[in-house]
Amino acid sequence: MTVALVGTLDTKGEEFAFARDVLTDHGVDVHVVDVGVMGDPAFEPDTTNAEVADRAGTTVESLRESGDRGESMDAMGRGAARVVEELHEEGALDGVLGLGGSGNTSVVTTAMRALPYGVPKLVVSTMASGDTRPYVGARDITMMYSVADIEGLNRLSRRIISNAALAMVGMVTNEADVEADDGPTVAVTMFGVTTPCVKAARAWLEERGYECIVFHATGTGGEAMENLVEQGVVDAVLDATTTELADELVGGVLSAGPDRLEAAGERGVPQVVSVGALDMVNFGPKEEVPEKFRDRHLHAHNPTVTLMRTTPEENAELGRVLAEKLNDAAGPTALFLPLRSVSMLDAEGEEFHRPEADDALFEAIRENVADSVELVELDADINDEAFAEAMAEKLHEFVEAT
């Protein structure tokens, strides 16, 4: 097994040498990638900073001359990403370990995000106790808080770096049987308010030999699913919960970006889609809801999550966006509409029940969806078992036909 150790050897050489020695002492080979720019490396790396800079289309000298630390870190991150990609493609990399403050964390996690899911990725960072989304994104990156700054070796830093190195040893030497059965793999999207729907659909599919991977539609969940579809990891998509489109449109905190609901269509992957939780936009604690939304219909889901009911106008636009995304799909596509409610909170008698808003969503879909998309309307709540099983059965039909 070989671990790529990615770091700035001009400023953190002592710490990286210690991590390297822990890894090699436990039988793991190490490939050191130097991403330092300002000085000479503390020891000879396997991939030099000049080689890293070259992969990014620049030179160490020009980065030094610019004096722009942000530009340098960006370039070395892109270069390191290409280096680890090449090592992985050659079968010469089984995991990546990094150490550092904000700069090196940015560089090494840029490299990590270039690798497939399942490749062990761990970084010891001073930034691990704050907002980690800029570093982790939608990838399987593990961040360990360094507690103290990574500056010199002492009884605390030795223990933490050693723990990280030993964790990496465990990950790359893991021989557990994690491979799936031979059945097709289905990506499924879920939110708390669509959980009964997804549970019923998953049970139906698993009884017929499918392996289901469920993604929490929290922005990064949708991003992760789209990434896996692009990588060809899944065979079909049951996108029951498209709520991230509402956050993207209105400005909530759980957007999955403008490309959500496009990967399956572009790759021709069979997909069955619904309108789960398009009745809501997500924000943090109530006091953090933007001022312009304070007079809207808000629901405290829990102390850290506040939900806002979408309006008929917003739902109409969501219907148009959703339909137009599906119209471009190259593979078999069906869109299921639950005419009674799109979430638990939208059901009759519940707080977000607003038929005129749902009707605006459904009518916009009817007006904009192409004939290439099979539109199925059922007089049901989204969480009715019959609705869930109808979606699962349609997806099974698509998969059987491909």
| Predicted pLDDT of residue 175 | 75
**Collapsing DSSP states into helix, strand and coil, what is residue 186?**
strand
| Predicted pLDDT of residue 129 | 87
The single-letter code of the amino acid at 142 is: T
The pTM score is: 0.81
CA distance 392 to 380: 15
Enumerate the CATH 3.40.50.12030 domain ranges in the chain, comma separated: 185-401
Enumerate the CATH 3.40.50.12020 domain ranges in the chain, comma separated: 2-172
- 239 φ/ψ angles, rounded to the nearest 5 degrees: -90, 70
CA distance 8 to 100: 8
- The dihedral built from the CA positions of residue 158, 164, 167 and 168, taken in this order, carries a sign that is negative
Class of domain 2-172: alpha beta
- pLDDT tens, 198-253? 999 999 999 999 999 999 999 999 999 999 999 899 999 999 999 999 999 999 99
- pLDDT tens, 138-171? 899 999 999 998 889 999 999 999 999 999 999 9
| Predicted pLDDT of residue 178 | 60
Per-residue tokens: 133:
């989304």
CB 137 within 8 A of CB 157: no
What CATH superfamily is the domain 185-401? Uncharacterised protein family UPF0261, NC domain (3.40.50.12030)
CB 103 within 8 A of CB 73: yes
DSSP state of 255: -
Please report, in tens digits, the pLDDT of each residue of the chain (402 residues total): 999 999 999 999 999 999 999 999 999 999 999 999 989 999 999 999 999 999 999 999 999 998 888 899 999 999 999 999 999 999 999 999 999 988 899 999 999 999 999 999 999 999 998 889 899 988 999 999 999 988 899 999 999 999 999 999 999 998 766 665 678 999 999 999 999 999 999 999 999 999 999 999 999 999 999 999 998 999 999 999 999 999 999 999 999 999 999 999 999 999 999 999 999 999 999 999 999 999 999 999 888 899 999 999 999 999 999 999 999 999 999 999 999 999 999 999 999 999 999 999 999 999 999 999 999 999 999 999 999 999 999 999 999 998
CB 357 within 8 A of CB 310: yes
